[in-house]
Structure 1
Amino acid sequence: MRNRGRNPKLKLQFFRNLQPEIIIDIVSRLPIRSIGACKCVCKSWRNLLHTREFTDFHLSKSVPALFIGYDSDFKNYKIFEFDDELGLESHHLHYNQIIKFDSTGFERSELKGSSNGLFLFLKRKNNTELHFDSLFVCNPITREYIALPQDGIFYCYFSASVAYGFGVSKMSAQYKVVKIFHSYVCEHKYHQTDEILGSSRYFCMVYTLGTRTWRSVAVDARVLYDTQSNGVSLNGNLHWLVEDALVDSDCISCFDLETETFSIFAPPPLTVSPKVLVSLVVLKDCLCICDSTPADEIVIWSMKDYGDEKSWIQEFVLTKIPDFFVDHDEYWTIYPIKVFNDGDILMAWHDLRTYYYSNKTKVITEFDLFEVERDDLEFWEWEDGMSAMLYTPSFLSLTRFPEESLSTF
């Protein structure tokens, strides 16, 4: 009996006789690379692991990973898994690369959002020219991407503000891209910044994957969106930190992806003014605001009861390290990415550097996952060349949207 238990053929036969739902349950809990290997076991496993049942179950169990991208060509990206176990001496030492890919076909693109393992990329032409934006939805695990159709908006980058968002609706589970467009009438002044004289166009466009159609929805023209602000996805809604021009104050714009309607949240009682270094993120399933405006502190607020403006609490106050900022620091903001179970925090600084806060030592230190010699790069190459965000790996295939034009890389 002991020898029979070690027989590889008997073990293989045992797994072949398992019910499909049991195989899905077991394989879904494996690391991404191991799941890839399982697809090579036999034809029946390969077919099973391409089903919607497996994709959906795996997504429900998927452990968030770290997505980063940095390259002077704006096209190379990496995904890391990391440990989140209590008792680790330093979380920032426990990162394992699980995939590396280049965005051939949509290189020189900016990351604008992520939902259920899918990424939204924006590719612009020369900023000085009138042009259409090109948008792509990509899954790096399945190596698939689709180019979205043009939305008909033709504009110059320097005379318009365009905010993007990407998420999935809560009830119908539809994947939607949101584009909020605000163009200006400007007076050009030689050797000076253009003076904004007024607004000419202000509207919101929504694209549902699989429809091949952009639709216009109502948007409040008094709310001003920042071009660099990407929609933060939580509870089936997208959120942007915006300015209410009517009362000249900051607020949070919320777009319900199911009903396609906007609402407004009040931010926490930030005391520093002007609030120029403030970011909106999701940490531990809570909507959070990180304020790095103070000279010596980073303050992180959490909305503990989603939608309740009275539930904001000041959850973390971090002491900045000496010489934290470099040139142009007035434009660069801290983006917390993940809070570990023991209170350690992973952060990105305006998508230029990664920092690690130790809850044990109360110290912030820099560490480099990108292996880039920044001194060898021009400033413009830094500014938009790196992305860092939490990402949920998924085997969701874009063939689920047969109306779209599918490409692979």
Structure 2
Amino acid sequence: MRITCVGGGPAGLYFAVLAKLADPGHEVTVLERNPAGVTYGWGVVFWDDLLDDLFRHDPVSARRISDAAYRWDEYEVRAAGKPVTHLAGYGFSLGRHRLLSLLAERAVELGVDVRYSLSSSAEADISDADLVVACDGAGSRIRERDAAHFGAEVETGRNKYIWLGTPHVFRTFTFGFERTTAGWIWFHAYPFADGASTFIVECTPETWTGLGLDRLDGPAGADLLGRIFAGHLGGHPLVDQRAGGGWLNFRRVTNRRWDSGNVALMGDAAHTTHFAIGSGTKLAMQDAMALADAIAGGGDLAAALERYEHRRKAALAPLQKAARASSEWFERMPEYADLPAKRFSYALSNRRGEYPLWRYLLHVTTQRRVPRTALRWALSLRRWSRARRRPSLGGAFRGGAQHFGGPAHVGR
């Protein structure tokens, strides 16, 4: 089968890897509009469920991703005028550039033809493909060629946000809120390398215009935000990759159909989920797994694409509901700003409205050092145990719990 993936992001590259593993005879090509080694964005986050899936599908790339990932073991909430509080949880983060490099390297090893700087030639290159995978982003050009069939719907969120980076390395995933003369503004930050963190800033449109951010270019806007959040940055600057400023409104994309003839949508071309639940990369790569599984089942291509669509839509439904609730909470964030510290951070944690009463009691109890440390030990042991059960680990988790961010690290 001749397969062409339009878009060299995590979805396209990982699907190419899985297609080649399923049948080395497939002719698989990945077309990426950016030059090799060029990508926008900072770090991505994921959790154990994705690592479990990665090890089941391709232990080689899973091991490389796991070894390169930065591990964090709780959430920190900093709100101006309130004591710092903490939320239970852990995850992984990895630079987007590093992730793409690892996936491209694995794809080439398996014989995938990865081509860069091809934004203007995609039409000619996909004309003889048996299967075209459209993983070219939320504004997918491939999808727009048959827009009426796919039935894309786009809802635009109210808040303004911008993806920035900083050389300041946050200890763990951190939410920070500051009150300005124009209203509240906040950040979602997490480390992804030894010398870098992602720093997403969000605010209401009223605060955005009140601070004059609508009139500033990239460097000037980053400088102003750096002054607002100076107390969190340890003397380091904020960096905007886009010279003109990269402020956005979140676009929630859904599609009535995910396939048309020999074309299948994947990743942001098929669906988007708000960054507040941090699942975009995870869902894109799980799309790739589902499509590869459907194709490997053999038989009629149309039937395989139908199986893929139904499986992924069912899996996405609860996450899309959670993402909507999460984004709406941040749109109402000023309503919660005057709550006491523990209630404020719990409201942030429970923004999907799913937790039973005992979770609040646990949250309050674990704001003290000893219970908090005990909870982090328990979560780290569970993480370490889960890692040991993964297939074909080889040397991926050398050093046991200590290497894995287990008990030896939870008390820092």
TM-score of the aligned structures, taking structure 2 as reference length: 0.24
When you count helix as a share of all residues, which structure comes out higher? 2
Q: Which has the higher contact order (CA 8 A, sep 6+)?
A: 2
User: Which protein has the larger Cα radius of gyration, Structure 1 or Structure 2?
Assistant: 1
When you count strand as a share of all residues, which structure comes out higher? 1
TM-score of the aligned structures, taking structure 1 as reference length: 0.24
